[in-house]
Amino acid sequence: MAEPSRDPPDRDRTRTEPLVARTANHVGRLLPLALVPLATALLRVRDLLAVSRADGLSVRASFPVYRYDVWNFLEAPREGGLSVSLPFGTPEPLPLLVPLIGAYVLVSGVLSAGYFGCIADGVTTGQFDFVANIRRFGARTVMLEALVVLALAAAFLPLVIVPPLFVAAILAALVLSYLYFPTVYVLVLEDRDIKSALGRARDLVDQHRPIGFFLSVAVVTALCSVPLSLVARTSPVGALLATVVAAPLGLAFNAATALKVAEMAGVETVE
């Protein structure tokens, strides 16, 4: 367990502070969780080396749909110069490597259980236990991860046959991401099953219409991606430095989204 202070935390009943200030209040106590986005980013060593050898800069905007790491701010370029990436990346042919995909879903889902569970605990109680949250949410987040992979496959695999559907697939993914982005957060904040979390997420979006928040996150991540890409493209050391900097930055975006969803759901948070 990690406690933020010796004094009992004050409940943020009125939520009058700006979201940025509230996020800053929480990131310090949540900082150990930055090891998760750092670890997931370092799994792509080959891409980090490719970025370090690239010229120019990249601009990448990411919506608040899941767990942030450096790859929400950077993209391994195919060519030199300026590259602009959509929030969902570019579709590639899905290799028939079911065991590899299954391993990814399992590892990522387990990490998400500890990560998002601890963020939820941190913003609502001021303390968290990573292992306990894996035990509590692990099965559900692994299943949610599998559903996301299947949904992406259903959306983008037809592009292999009919490439002109690319724009339609991107728009569909964008709309679905907006409608259901609170899912993993309400799952851990309110301890819901997947079906209930999906329904609750859709209800919250319909009720509160957080389009401003959704788009603002994309704009801010795009702005952050510029200096990170400039640093990452200087050398392998620069790429590693950008990865380290992006880890707590990604944590801050996830914490901000958790606070926003908690506010929408009427879940009390602490200072």
Query: In the prediction, which pLDDT does 2 show?
Result: 41
**CA dist., res. 230 & res. 239, Å (int):** 9
CA 44 to each of CA 8, 75, 101: distance values in angstroms, whole numbers, following the listed order: 41, 11, 15
- Three-state DSSP class for 190? coil
Q: Give pLDDT, residue 65.
A: 82
Question: How does DSSP classify residue 31?
Answer: G
Give me the residue label for tokens 């200096």: 227
CB 88 within 8 A of CB 136: no
The residues, any chain, with a CB within 8 Å of residue 165's CB and separated by 6 or more, are 158, 159
Q: Return per-residue pLDDT of the chain as tens, 271 residues.
A: 343 333 444 444 444 679 999 999 999 999 999 999 999 999 888 889 999 998 888 899 999 988 999 999 998 766 544 444 444 444 444 455 677 788 889 999 999 999 999 999 999 999 999 999 999 999 999 999 999 888 877 777 777 677 777 788 788 889 999 999 999 999 999 999 999 999 999 999 999 999 999 999 999 999 999 999 999 999 999 999 999 999 999 999 999 999 999 999 999 999 7
The pLDDT assigned to 140 comes to 97
- pLDDT for the residue numbered 90: 43
The pLDDT value recorded for residue 99 is 79
Strand partners, 84: 59
Query: What's the pLDDT score for residue 229?
Result: 94
The structural domains of the chain, with segments of one domain joined by +, span: 19-265
DSSP-derived letter for residue 72 is G
- Rounded to the nearest 5 percent, the helix, strand and coil shares of the chain are 70, 5, 30
Q: Which residue type, as a one-letter code, is found at position 152?
A: L
